[in-house]
Chain A
Amino acid sequence: MRWKRHPQTVWEVSPDDVVHAVRADKGVIVALEGWGALIWTSDEPDVEALVAELATITGEDAATIDAGVRDFLTDLEQRGLVMTDG
């Protein structure tokens, strides 16, 4: 599965490491912290590669991370902030 930010999504990283993202035509601001901010600011479009990267960084189980990342991206897709081909 691959993912990318929706072209209508506007986002910024605040000085306290929080990502604030909003769809221009919807206006609902979402705040992403910790892992969410890490995934959002990752330039890796391939979810499997992203999961492998996160597993290496954190030392956590890749299968657990995979499920978490896919749930996270599904949630963001429902909010219109990202697009996936999965």
Chain B
Amino acid sequence: MSAADVPMPTRVRLIHGVLQRLAEQAGADVLHIKGPAVAPEIMGTSTVRDPITHEMVEVVNDRDSSDADILIRPEHVDRLLVVMHRAGWDFKTSFAGSSAFGHAMNVHHPTMGNADLHRHFPGLDRKAFETLWADRGEVELGHVSCPVPSVTGQRLLLLVHAARSGPDHPDRDRAWGRASEYERTQVSALAERLHAEVGLAAALGNLEQYRTHREYLLWKSFGERHPSRLGEWRARWRAADGPVEKARVVAMLATMDAGLLEAELGRPPTSRDRVKRALRRWTTLGHEVRALLRRRRSR
């Protein structure tokens, strides 16, 4: 049986359960995030008929995920990757190559499907895992008990993620719009502890309060409906804290990740694909650089 034969919501729940079992084998701490791991308090519930007992039961509303997301304790990443590789998972991208944040890698199992492994979460302190882990709860996925962030932690993750996903993301309403004043206060307090105030402000439309913050342009760029690639890279450069982080941004701008390209094409990229992609990227940036220079000259 292939992944395509299993309904998507069922498949994603199975993947969460499988990843949890593999994490236990590896001795790795992981938190299950997004998708079916999100608490009913946030997603809301509906009443449906149980397929086995035929009784009416409350079920959590579906979040339309096509892959499973987990956040791994950073120092446990390598041991989990070893066990996953042994269990037949392919690594479609590297952490460094999947995004300019280097925060997640895409993995694929030929019969199970896809998952995103996060080693940190953009917008949150890189040491956030420990705080989220200390306040964790549990949810059953694939009949496996899976650790999840506290409901407050989930709200914050969803909001910061929504701020990176362009305007009008439904998680803004789920995680904040429907929350009580007390719950909102808790989210703001956690954001402060995890240095996520700018991301949270971006999610809530209050980004202008942080106009002088080094992350301001970055979050502004994420919130735009059609962000320019040049603007995005300038924002990433400005947000990078210190020479090491800035050097990393330059390195990512200058290189292209073959794994990511393969994930996009659905097949191993040829030399021609790599050249075409590299040219397209530099061409796009080139056009934007020329437009920027023209605007400056005309002032």
Contact = CB atoms under 8 A, between A and B. Distances in A.
A10 B17 contact: yes
Contacts of B21: 8, 10, 24-25
A44 to B, nearest CB: 14
A56 interface: no
Contacts of B14: 10-12, 20, 22, 29
Contacts, number: 77
Contact of B10 (A8, A12, A28): A12
Interface in A11-53: 11-17, 20, 22, 24-31, 37, 41
A85 B86 CA distance: 28
Contacts of B109: 27
Interface residues of B, number: 28
A16 to B, nearest CB: 7
B62 to A, nearest CB: 10
A31 B51 contact: no
B25 interface: yes
Interface in B12-52: 13-14, 17-18, 21-22, 25, 48, 51-52
B7 A24 contact: no
Interface residues of A, number: 21
Given A12-B10, A22-B18, A27 B51 contact: no
B5 to A, nearest CB: 7
B112 A27 contact: yes
Interface string B48-70: 10011000000000000000000
Nearest to B110: A27
B22 A25 contact: yes
B144 interface: yes
A59 to B, nearest CB: 20
B293 interface: no
A22 B112 contact: yes
B165 interface: no
A10 B6 contact: no
A11 B261 CA distance: 33
B13 A29 contact: no
Contacts of A10: 14, 17-18, 21, 142-144
Contact of A20 (B6, B25, B86, B144): B6
A25 B6 contact: no
Interface of A: 8, 10-17, 20, 22, 24-31, 37, 41
10 contacts: A10-B21, A10-B142, A12-B10, A12-B143, A14-B7, A27-B110, A27-B111, A27-B112, A29-B6, A41-B52
Closest 3 CB pairs of A and B: A24-B21, A10-B17, A10-B142
